[in-house]
Amino acid sequence: MSDDGVERLRRICLALPEATEKFTFGAPTFRVREKIFAMPRDRDGRLSVWVKAPPHAQEILIGADPDRFFAPPYVGPKGWVGMRLDDGADWAEVEALVTRSFRLIAPKRLAAKLQQPSGKR
């Protein structure tokens, strides 16, 4: 895995409230209260991140850009989506997907501490 890409992803993940990193399944995982919300993975020699997505988002993202998004093994059937983080990755989009995954995984009161996309709390 690209050290630069993983480090950039690490900074995004660990900036979230109570986020922690734990080495599991041969790679880092990012968690909130022991529940995984993001997993960087090497897929076919390419760095990707797997995140939880709301219902139907996986199909929409993959349908819109199948070169960048995919259904990851194991967690894909549960609605998670994979995003390739090759050179030229849109890191603002990565941050948005990771934050949305965090919101879906974190307890509601903890997720509420994040600023809403509209700028409201």
Q: Which CATH architecture has domain 3-111?
A: Alpha-Beta Complex (3.90)
- pLDDT by residue for the chain (121 residues), tens digit each? 567 899 999 999 999 999 999 999 788 999 999 999 999 998 778 899 999 999 999 999 999 999 999 999 999 999 999 999 987 789 999 999 999 999 999 999 999 888 665 544 4
What is the C-alpha separation between 51 and 94, in angstroms, rounded? 10
Closest CA to 32 of 103, 117, 95: 103
How many other C-beta atoms can be found within 10 angstroms of the C-beta atom of residue 112?
12
pLDDT at site 25 = 79
What is the C-alpha separation between 61 and 102, in angstroms, rounded? 18
